[in-house]
Structure 1
Amino acid sequence: MSFNLRSKSLLCDVAYNMSPLLKIFSIVLQISLAGLLVLSTGCTRSANRDKDSNTFVFRIAAEPPHLDPIRGIDHVSIDLMNNLLEGLMQFDRDMSVIPALATRYEVSKDKTVYTFYLRKDVVWSDGVPFTAEQVFYSWKRMLEPKNAAEFAYFFYDIENAEDYNSGKVTDFSKVGIKVLDPLTVQVTLARPIGFWATMTATPAFFPVREDLIEKHGSSWIQPPHFQTLGPYKLTSWEHDKQLVFEANEKYWEGTPPIKKVIGLIVEEATTAVGLFEDGALDLVRHLPTQDVERIKKDARYHKQSYFRGYYYGFNTTKKPFNNPKVRKAFAHAVDRHAIVSVLKGGQQASASWIPEGMLGYNASIGLSYNPDLAKKYLAEAGYPGGKGFPHAELSFDQRDDNKLVAEALQGMWTKDLGVKLEIVSMEWKVYLDKTRTDPYPIYRMGWGADFPDPNNFMDLFLSNSGTNDTNWSNPNYDKIVREAAGETIYVRRKNLYDQAQRMLLEQDAVIIPLFTESNDYLADPRVRNFYLDKMNNMFIKRFEIAAD
């Protein structure tokens, strides 16, 4: 049977509008009937643009869970917010912070008071002036107990912020956030933090509008209600299909060179690569593991390391994983190098939670592969050879590489511990909600740097962290991590992080870091000035489309 262009188009229409399971079936059907993968059939329908137009089209790996800073805490949402919203500061190509909505800031000698001076004549995309009151509202909103913002803990270094968020303090005037005048915001910290200004370049600190939220409720993030201070406006959001941005002509830095941006939601990595090869995408990240060797031969292939750790966590409140000996047994039964060899994507096996290249990285920290010790710990926990071990689930979000890792772990734990686990997977948005509310006993997660400092990795597991899905709490760990955040002497700070990592990874064995991820991607050379930094940030406003 042969397929003409029309039949290809119909197949692509179907593939874009069916469930993930049926999408997979559709691809398999095409292979059997035509000997062609979807990735070679020219599915260009959703891009709907000419190759020479001033449009940048990139792959989004899943439906964005949320574009509200108090809800968008995952990498998919953050990637989009970085291009739709704006902070007081921003990251340059080298990950240093430079002025954005603030022209400058001043720090007191004791590093506890930060004063930000905002730009004059900055307006939102609908022409409404930008003011210090909007910054105040946004940061207060992040700390409101009723909002249960998961990144509220990013603000806990501010005087009385944690107590307000927990309800211990009810008067917000006692929190160290003040408006000094319409263009000046001042923050008073509870203790010295030398890197605090860097955090204002992250989405948790991006200003939003009270009037829009009051008028439209949760739909304020939907077009046409969405208004921005950032380089792009969100003009269309077809859920589970695509998002469309258009250049913000009122942006304070000037209208971006690329006038239109399309984010295609393509869950299957092989399909995304096919769309790239057919000219329908300019950028594809998260390449399919099974096809990496072929893709590496493409001149448009790039690889770089970045600050992102891949780990499996334990829900420490669920039996039998409330027992540290069980957790240690599972950790010692993991052969990280075997997992990395299966993935073939340049990942670097690592038992350390702080990634290489960042202060605090220590290759000697963590529980290494030791089957004999693993068996010993499991026996001491009451399950010799895995006998009597209860039914437990191993969970991950649907992605080809995640499936390979989960199956590898399942096999290792069966071989070395005699334990059989049930594998559970689900779509990213559903999985994230499940992990945040009622984590499986063992769950997959990753963490990429929001700002280039080890505090961003270590405070993830503080007792009061909104992203601590392990439900683990260790007051000594909390104390040491907070002390390290304020330490300015390199050697002392590193020693503190060594202590904290040993508590997290060895003493209590709360998570099992597997590797730091490699950023493998395909990028069309027609996109000039393209780069991804070591935090995997993509700032489209700095790109240009080359004229043919």
Structure 2
Amino acid sequence: MKKKYLALLLAASMIVGTLAGCGSSTTTTESSAPAETTVEESAAAEETAAESTEASTEAATEEAAASGEHGPSSEAAPAWEDYDARIDQIRVETDLAAREALMHEAEDELMSTWAIMPLYYYNDVYMQSEDIGNIYCNLFGYKYFGFATAPGNTLSLQIASEPDRLDPALNSTVDGACLAILAFAGLYTYDENGQLVPDLAESVEESEDGMTYTFTMKDGLMWSDGTPLTAADVEYSWQRLADPNTGADYAYLADVIAKNDDGTLQVEASEDGKTFTVSLTAPCAYFLDLCAFPAFYPVPQASVEGAEGATDNPGAWCTEAGFVSSGPMVCTGWTHNESMTYEKNPNYYDADKVTLEKIDFMLSDDDTAVWNAFMDGSLQFIDTIGTDNMATAKEMPEYHNVPTLGTYYAGFNVNSPIFEGKTVQQAADMRKAMNLLVDRQYIVDTIAQADQEIANTFIPTGMGDGQGGEFRANDDAYTYPNEEAVGYFDPSPEAYDANVEEAISLLEGAGYVFDENGMLSEETPINLTYLTNEGTGNVAIGEALQQDFAVIGINLTIETREWSVFLNERKDGQFDFAREGWLADYNDPINMLEMWTTESGNNDMQFGR
């Protein structure tokens, strides 16, 4: 997040009305420019601290291997048991200062692997016609179109290409979440002022110890087909989210909920379907945020279990238009890879506040086609602005640039064959060297072009620390390895030359040979591929990384994929190095740390596997 928005980020979670826009989806192409990846070596203490963290990671791996404990599949990958255990500890720690310290330890361990290459902190840029109103979003990238106003009560827009999943429990993308918010409802939601408010719930009662929540459901709730929606639907859906057979990427979010001996969640609907009770493992300050998160939205059991192919594909029930839902609008048309149509849901409990009769979505990540459609009036809102159009867009009154809470980054598969034959430390040094070669400022200035802040941490600027302050800050309790740069390295242009020198030194220590011109020798080449989805901004960033690596002779090949193929290959670890992006699901660092646990469905870097 931008420093200039820090006060806003800490004070509110939403931007309002036509001036608002949701965080840039990781599924769309955001014009974004890389900055230099550089490490400052001026402070010996900082260097010693970083080396100590790296050494402890390698020692942990060797100890785990010697003891025969479960560990990563590659000898060059870091052991991950300690990280998993630390995340579990954070989830139950009630002392806020101790909890923050544990989260810094977790980010230190994560960054010591150098598998994460932070490039910049997200903000959101989009175009919105001036006659469109009441579109709002939160800092986590979710756009709320259900209560928008538009001439003729019809809205045409674009947020991304073909969605990967529409099942709220199975979706893990921002564009999919925007569609889920339109078609479904949860116990809680965010209003136009960024405040958490009851949605399907009428009220909630929290126990004095913060361990139990009892929700009372609104009267007369219905699914879009007119059947009753009760607390029993919520119980079913939460159990389904946590069930390993569902295969939900976000199943780990339910780990804050206490479990029975059989592994099911301690959640219960009353016999009359009016109340829903949840028992937690420990007080959780962000629990109601989870209740507003799409993965926890109720889904219709009869539709889910009665769909053809449900045994093999738990999300089969909503792969075509006409599926049963509960939100402001229902999906009535879907031409795959081209368009979707949503129409007003007359059975929505708050239907009187929905003025739109129809929303038409253009499914495309073709920057040029999307831009032309906006310019000729075919689209009234677009979330994709290509690099070539950014300068023009910024001069137009329809252009908006608002803060979000997340990080655009690239990441290394720790089990990639490119690290074969290396020790844990040598593999980490290889990744660190490539981090240091990146000119992030160039990416931000010439590709992103939206005033993004270059990144040198995974947890972004603006993320709260759980104690009323900002997590990314030096204080009496914690200092980043690079104190002056407030991060893990100095990404400034001034540090670039020193960073390149350090990169060469690190690679030499990992067994690579350089010629007199500072280029990798033919005897010790480094060849790797960069996996990215289509879109001019994402591809341009890949090309910038390619050029940065070539400065010392590293050969980077760019491979582009259609969105859903890209997601699946990345999730399955079918890559060396990939484009990544993460917008926080709620304002707490644990959200961006627990995604890297061994069993997390969002662990693209394959830690512990």
Same fold (TM over 0.5): yes
Measured against aligned partners, the alpha-carbon deviations of 1:342-395 in whole angstroms (never above 9, x if no partner) come to 212222211122222221124611233411111111111112333413431111
Q: 2:459 is matched with which residue? A: 354
CA distance in 1, matches of 2:541, 2:299: 39
Measured against aligned partners, the alpha-carbon deviations of 1:386-409 in whole angstroms (never above 9, x if no partner) come to 341343111111110011111111
Match of 1:384, as an amino acid?
V
CA distance in 1, matches of 2:320, 2:608: 41
**Is the CA contact 1:353–1:361 (under 8 Å) kept in the aligned structure 2?**
no
- Summarize the alignment of residues 284-363 of structure 1 with structure 2, pairs less than 5 Å apart: 284-321=382-419, 323-343=427-447, 344-359=449-464, 360-362=471-473
Cα RMSD between the aligned structures? 1.9
- CA 1:203–1:419: 2 relative to 1, 3 Å: same
CA distance in 1, matches of 2:527, 2:550: 13
The reply to whether residue 237 of structure 1 matches residue 328 of structure 2 is no
**Is the CA contact 2:413–2:575 (under 8 Å) kept in the aligned structure 1?**
yes
The reply to whether residue 70 of structure 1 matches residue 164 of structure 2 is no
Q: 1:366 is matched with which residue? A: 488
- Summarize the alignment of residues 423-438 of structure 1 with structure 2, pairs less than 5 Å apart: 423-438=558-573
Q: Which of 112, 136, 141 is equivalent to 2:235?
A: 136
Between 402-411 and 333-342, report the one with greater CA deviation: 333-342
Q: 2:504 is matched with which residue? A: 375
The reply to whether residue 117 of structure 1 matches residue 216 of structure 2 is yes
**Is the CA contact 1:289–1:345 (under 8 Å) kept in the aligned structure 2?**
no
Give the length in aligned residue pairs: 414
CA distance in 2, matches of 1:354, 1:180: 40
**Is the CA contact 2:157–2:382 (under 8 Å) kept in the aligned structure 1?**
yes
Q: Deviation of residue 432 (structure 1)?
A: 0.2
**Is the CA contact 1:89–1:197 (under 8 Å) kept in the aligned structure 2?**
yes
- Summarize the alignment of residues 160-179 of structure 1 with structure 2, pairs less than 5 Å apart: 160=259, 170=262, 172=264, 175-179=265-269
- Summarize the alignment of residues 364-403 of structure 1 with structure 2, pairs less than 5 Å apart: 364-369=486-491, 370-385=499-514, 386-387=520-521, 388-403=524-539
Q: Deviation of residue 437 (structure 1)?
A: 1.1
**Is the CA contact 2:184–2:297 (under 8 Å) kept in the aligned structure 1?**
yes
Measured against aligned partners, the alpha-carbon deviations of 1:108-140 in whole angstroms (never above 9, x if no partner) come to 222221221111111111111111111111111
Q: Deviation of residue 462 (structure 1)?
A: 2.4
The reply to whether residue 413 of structure 1 matches residue 549 of structure 2 is yes
Look up the SS of the partner of 1:115 in the other structure: strand
Query: Per chain length, whose mean CA-contact separation is higher, i.e. which structure has more relative contact order (CA < 8 Å, sep 6+)?
Result: 2
Runs of 4+ in 1 over 4 A off after TM superposition: 222-225
Q: 1:191 is matched with which residue? A: 282
The reply to whether residue 227 of structure 1 matches residue 324 of structure 2 is yes
CA distance in 2, matches of 1:261, 1:159: 40
Measured against aligned partners, the alpha-carbon deviations of 1:191-245 in whole angstroms (never above 9, x if no partner) come to 2211111111011001001111122234421455411110001101110111100
Q: 2:575 is matched with which residue? A: 440
Q: Deviation of residue 452 (structure 1)?
A: 2.8
Match of 1:376, as an amino acid?
S
Give percent identity, aligned residues only: 29
**Is the CA contact 2:169–2:297 (under 8 Å) kept in the aligned structure 1?**
no
Match of 1:188, as an amino acid?
S
Match of 1:367, as an amino acid?
F
Q: 2:599 is matched with which residue? A: 464
CA distance in 2, matches of 1:183, 1:384: 70
Q: Deviation of residue 105 (structure 1)?
A: 1.5
The reply to whether residue 200 of structure 1 matches residue 291 of structure 2 is yes
Look up the SS of the partner of 1:430 in the other structure: helix
Q: Deviation of residue 473 (structure 1)?
A: 4.0
- CA 1:171–1:330: 2 relative to 1, 3 Å: closer
Look up the SS of the partner of 2:567 in the other structure: helix
**Is the CA contact 1:243–1:262 (under 8 Å) kept in the aligned structure 2?**
yes
The TM-score, its normalising length taken from structure 2, stands at 0.65
CA distance in 2, matches of 1:300, 1:121: 40
CA distance in 2, matches of 1:145, 1:230: 27
Query: What runs of 5+ residues in structure 1 fail to find an aligned partner?
Result: 1-50, 162-168, 475-548
Q: Deviation of residue 461 (structure 1)?
A: 1.6
**Is the CA contact 2:370–2:384 (under 8 Å) kept in the aligned structure 1?**
no
Q: Which of 381, 392, 395 is equivalent to 1:283?
A: 381
The reply to whether residue 272 of structure 1 matches residue 370 of structure 2 is yes
- CA 1:337–1:233: 2 relative to 1, 3 Å: same
CA distance in 2, matches of 1:106, 1:414: 59
Q: Deviation of residue 106 (structure 1)?
A: 1.9
Match of 1:232, as an amino acid?
M
Between 195-204 and 351-360, report the one with greater CA deviation: 351-360
Match of 1:353, as an amino acid?
F
Between 235-244 and 64-73, report the one with greater CA deviation: 64-73
Look up the SS of the partner of 1:392 in the other structure: strand
**Is the CA contact 1:375–1:384 (under 8 Å) kept in the aligned structure 2?**
no
Between 431-440 and 367-376, report the one with greater CA deviation: 367-376
CA distance in 1, matches of 2:500, 2:167: 45
CA distance in 2, matches of 1:219, 1:193: 33
CA distance in 2, matches of 1:108, 1:463: 33
Q: Deviation of residue 56 (structure 1)?
A: 0.6
Match of 1:334, as an amino acid?
V
